[in-house]
Amino acid sequence: MNETPEEKIMNEVETPEKNKRWTDDVVIPVPLTKFMKMKTKIAKLENKVKEADSKKYEYMRQAMDAEDKFKKIKADYEKLLGIDKEGEKD
């Protein structure tokens, strides 16, 4: 196949990537010790976030369990007292 010079140039032209960010080309020289300190600090912070999330979900589970127990006890009392859902006695 014979390509015209225009086609050849168009095939060689680089098209910009859609997901490329301007920060992808920026390079900052950092000493290795400082980089390692930053990595350990980031890891510690990520662990703190995971622990906080697990505590939050544990408290939410406890609250939901307590709410379920409360609803069951309330239904039992209403049944014993003969109160319907509108709050009137039978």
Does residue 33 fall inside a structural domain?
yes
pLDDT in tens, 59-83: 999 999 999 999 999 999 988 988 8
**More confident site: 15 or 90:** 15
pLDDT value, residue 64: 97
Does residue 4 fall inside a structural domain?
no
Distance CA 54, CA 87 (A): 39
Q: What is the DSSP string of 2-58?
A: PPPHHHHHHHHSPPPPTT--GGGG------HHHHHHHHHHHHHHHHHHHHHHHHHHH
Q: What is the pTM of this model?
A: 0.52
Domain extent for 73: 19-81
Does residue 7 fall inside a structural domain?
no
Number of domains in the chain: 1
